[in-house]
Amino acid sequence: MGINAGLKDDQAAEEPLQGAQQAGEENLADTQVHAEETESNQEESNQDSGPEENNLTDNGPVTRENPGIGNLTVHFIDVGQGDSILLEYNGKTMLVDAGERDKGKVVTAYLQDQGISGIDYVVATHPHSDHIGGMNEVLNSFQVKHFVDSGFPHTSKTYENMLTTIDEKDIPFEVAEEGKEIEFDPAVDVEILNPGQEYSDDLNENSIVLKVSYGETSFLLMGDAGLETEEKLMGGGYDLDSDILKAGHHASRSGSGEAFISSVSPGISIIEVGAGNDYGHPHEEVLERLQKASRVYRTDLDGTIAVTTDGSTCTVITQKTGSEKVVTGTGTSENGADSPSIPIITRETESEEVKSEEAGEPGTGTISSSADHAVYVSDLNLKDEWIEITNRDASPVLLEGWKIEDEGSKHTYTFSSYTLSSQAAVTLYTGMGTDTSAKLYWGSESPVWNNDGDTAYLYDNSGNLISELER
Ligand SMILES: [Zn+2]
Q: What is the DSSP string of 168-205?
A: HTT--EEE--TT-EEEEETTEEEEEEE--SSPPSSGGG
Q: How far is the CA of 106 from the centre of ligand 1 (A)?
A: 17
What is the Å distance from ligand 1's center to 272 Cα?
9
406 plus 302 within the same structural domain: no
The full length of the chain comes to: 471
CA 131 – ligand 1 centroid, Å: 6
Asked whether residue 6 is domain-assigned, the answer is no
Residue 61 has pLDDT above 50, yes or no: no
Q: What's the gap in Å between 249 CA and the centre of ligand 1?
A: 5
- Choose the weakest-confidence range: 253-257, 268-272, 345-349: 345-349
For residue 19, tell me if it sits in a domain. no
CA of 442 to the centre of ligand 1 (A): 37
Task: Tell me the one-letter amino acid at 463.
Answer: G
Band (372; pLDDT cuts 50, 70, 90): very low
- Residue 202 CA to ligand 1 center (angstroms) comes to 13
Query: What pLDDT band is residue 321 in, cutting at 50, 70 and 90?
Result: low
Verify that 266 and 129 share a domain, yes or no.
yes
Residue-level pLDDT at 34: 52
Of the ranges 15-24, 42-51, 429-438, which is most confident? 429-438
Which CATH number goes with the domain that contains 442? 2.60.40.1260
Q: Is 457 in contact with 404 (CB distance < 8 Å)?
A: yes
Q: Give 312 Cα–ligand 1 centroid separation in angstroms.
A: 30
- Nearest partner of 105 among 68, 77, 126, 71, judged by Cα: 77
Half-sphere exposure of 296 (CA within 13 A, CB side): 20
Higher pLDDT, 249 or 155: 249
| 158 domain residue, yes or no | yes
Give me the mean pLDDT over the 383-387 stretch: 91
Residue 212 Cα to ligand 1 middle (Å): 20
Looking at the structure of the chain, the number of domains it has is: 2
CA of 268 to the centre of ligand 1 (A): 20
CB half-sphere exposure, 260, CA atoms < 13 A = 26
Q: Are residues 368 and 326 in the same domain?
A: no
The mean pLDDT of 444-456, rounded to a whole number, is 89
pLDDT at 10: 38
Q: Quick check: is 343 in a domain? A: no
User: What pairing do the DSSP bridges indicate for beta strands 268-271 and 295-298?
Assistant: parallel
What is the CA(171)–ligand 1 centre distance, in A?
Answer: 24
Residue 44 Cα to ligand 1 midpoint, Å, equals 34
Same domain, 131 and 60: yes
Decide if 460 contacts 360 (C-beta within 8 A): yes
Distance (angstroms) between ligand 1 centre and the Cα of 465 equals 35
- Does 107 lie in the same domain as 252? yes
Residues 264 and 400 in one domain: no
Average pLDDT over residues 160-184: 96
250 CA distance to ligand 1 centroid (A)?
Answer: 6
Q: How far is the CA of 356 from the centre of ligand 1 (A)?
A: 37
Structural domain boundaries, residue 63: 27-338
CA–CA separation, 129 and 447 (whole Å): 33
Mark whether 187 and 276 lie in a shared domain.
Answer: yes
Please tell me the number of Cα atoms within 13 Å of 465 on its side-chain side. Answer: 20
Task: Looking at the structure, tell me whether residues 254 and 370 fall in a common domain.
Answer: no
Query: Is 138 part of any domain?
Result: yes
Q: Is residue 91 part of a domain?
A: yes
Confidence label for 165 from pLDDT (cuts 50, 70 and 90): very high
pLDDT of residue 373: 67
**Cis ω on the peptide bond leading into residue 51 (within 30° of 0)?**
no
Residue 17 lies in a domain: no
Q: What percent of the chain is predicted at pLDDT more than 70?
A: 74
Cα 272 to Cα 107: distance, rounded to the nearest angstrom = 14
Q: 207 CA distance to ligand 1 centroid (A)?
A: 10
Span from the CA of 126 to the centroid of ligand 1 (angstroms): 9
Last residue of a domain, one of 277, 308, 338: 338
Q: Say if residue 286 is in the same domain as residue 320.
A: yes
Strand partners, 246: 221, 270
Distance 122 CA to ligand 1 centre (A): 17
Q: Which of 338, 366, 394 represents a domain boundary (last residue)? A: 338
Q: What is the mean pLDDT of residues 13-39?
A: 39
Closest residue by Cα to residue 373 from 43, 3, 18, 15: 43
Q: How far is the CA of 93 from the centre of ligand 1 (A)?
A: 22
Q: Are residues 333 and 358 in the same domain?
A: no
Task: Report residue 345's pLDDT band, with 50, 70 and 90 as the boundaries.
Answer: very low
Residues 374 and 294 in one domain: no
CA of 398: how far to CAs of 155, 420, 461, in Å? 58, 6, 10
Highest mean pLDDT among 15-24, 207-216, 319-328, 346-355: 207-216
Residue 58's CATH number = 3.60.15.10
Q: How far is the CA of 206 from the centre of ligand 1 (A)?
A: 12
Show which of 304, 338, 372 is a domain's final residue: 338
Regarding whether 139 and 288 lie in a shared domain, the answer is yes
Phi and psi at residue 466, to the nearest 5°: -95, -40
Question: What are the helix (H) ranges across 91-241?
Answer: 104-113, 129-132, 135-141, 157-168, 227-234
Contacts for 249 with CB less than 8 Å, ≥ 6 apart: 204, 222, 223, 224, 225, 226, 255, 281
Residue 20 lies in a domain: no
Contact predicate 4/10, CB 8 Å: yes
Q: What percent of the chain has pLDDT over 90?
A: 55
Give the mean model confidence (pLDDT) for residues 207-221: 97
C-alpha to C-alpha distances, 97 to 84, 100, 148, nearest whole angstrom: 5, 9, 10
Cα 459–Cα 461–Cα 467 angle in degrees, nearest 5: 20
